[in-house]
Amino acid sequence: MKRLLLPALLSLSLLAHAQQTPVPPVTPQYRPGYHFSPAAHWMNDPNGMVYYQGTYHLFFQYYPDGMTWGPMHWGHATSPDMLSWQEQPIALFPDELGWIFSGSAVIDKDNTAGFGKNAMVAIFTHHNDPEEKKKTNKHQYQSLAYSLDAGKTWTKYKGNPVLPNPGIQDFRDPKVSWNEVAKKWIMTLATKDRITFYSSADLKSWTRESEFGAKLGAHGGVWECPDLFPLTLNGKTHWVLIVNLNPGGPNGGSGTQYFIGSFNGHQFTPLNEKTKWADFGPDNYAGVTWANTGARKIFLGWMSNWDYANQVPTSPWRNATTLPRELGLRQVGSEIYLTSQPVKELAKLARPAQTLSKLTVTKSTDLTGPLKFSGDKFSLKMSTPELRDFALVLSNAAGEELRLGYDAQAKNYFVDRRKSGPMGFSDKFAGRHLTPRLATTPGADLTLFFDATSVELFADGGLSVATELFFPSKPFTTIRLESAAGMTVQNLVYNQLSSPLLKM
């Protein structure tokens, strides 16, 4: 990869961070087949996600000189379908104003900024490491870069920063979108333990509008990577405010909370004060939505957790993204919830299905043979007319197992990875993680996507969602269903999935 020519003011700081431990032995068995991960080195937050001229652009926090977090760049990858990704040259490098932290990108179709009609404009946080060491609380500020060739090359705006720091320790992760009613750009910015909204007519001059959340929501850690967008339910528009939080997630470490309410171009007003979570698993963080996709809102997260992201046993890369997920709203009783469903494009990966119908599960039922189970990249969909206690168990010859299922008394779905493989890399990794069931119907549906070292659980039409990593020493080769009380499975559909990111 192209190496960074270090500006003089940052060279010593960057070189200090570049002192990396040797690269451990490669782990091709852990490489995901249909989740994006860089060919090598460290990645975290998805950034600048924007759809333009038939291409999905994914920018991401990237450190090209090591496998642990370091001075941040914007990596870049493109895809026609969010499944088959082509890694592109690094888009944004650190400069004299600082490292390139998280942000967003928009298509300026009306040339409001003056960079050019349909310019792709990135709005990001500059992080000034030497300034941070001075403890002035002015080391993070918002800047612009633009591309006139659909993201191939980038020019940083000479007037950076466009939003100086007023003296807030954590002042970052701008998510910008055009508000058609107010006829202005709205920036949703994470400001320590709350969200601050700014507005602009030209992306260059910003006015503070309001703030939200000082006394609402989860506050176990710093608020980060927000997003604001409308969704429609029964003909009525509601606004969804996503706020990522670290630490303080529902199952430890990083997490993604959200609020549903109204936004008038000036202020966000929640429907109530209830804290809700977009994903209850430990391994979905920093997720935001793609820009320029119309009414379709597609979410993508970072599939890891700051509790152990620097230590997970993959090489020569670390970390990946979640599945892209289409968002919606659902009302249950008096509450409105955000739903997440795997994007429809995933259907093209499915190989011919193995289907079991009207399956009676008593104690333990081996499904390995009936499903012709093999490989570590597959989906499993099951439905039951009456949800009871059950566990789906994947295991291998080494005695390792991954368990997931439902606890009827507690009304929780669960993923138990305590015996799923070696986990000495972190004392925070092992656990049995719970996801509340929000649906109230007797019957249930469950969709699972497995990809080498991850499982993503979507229950009850995406009302209850969990993302979980695991690292078995050998592939799981058996699969079974357990139910002490007995359970009827109406349909069980197993699909091996092709791997557009790997050579088959």
Residues serving a catalytic function are 45
Q: CB burial class (10 A; 0-12, 13-18, 19+) of residue 330?
A: middle
Cα 48 to chain centroid distance, Å, stands at 13
Core vs surface per residue 358-391: b (16+ CB within 10 A) or e: ebebeeebebeeebebeebbbbbbbebeebbbbb
3-state secondary structure 348-387: HHECCCEEEEEEEEEEEEECCCCCCCCCCEEEEEEEECCC
Q: Which residue type, as a one-letter code, is found at position 458? A: F
Enumerate residues 6+ apart whose C-beta is below 8 A from 476: 376, 394, 395, 396, 400, 401, 402
The encoded tokens of residue 316 equal 């020569």
Instruction: Please provide residue 13's backbone torsions phi and psi, each rounded to the nearest 5 degrees.
Output: -65, -45
Separation of first and last alpha carbons in the chain: 25
Pairing verdict, β 478-496 and 390-395 = antiparallel
Give 224's strand partners.
244
Provide the 8-state DSSP code for 473: S
Instruction: Please provide residue 293's backbone torsions phi and psi, each rounded to the nearest 5 degrees.
Output: -110, 15
Q: Rounded CA gap, 256 and 240, in Å?
A: 13
Q: What is the torsion angle, in degrees rounded to the nearest 10, for the CA atoms of residue 498, residue 501, residue 502 and residue 504?
A: 40
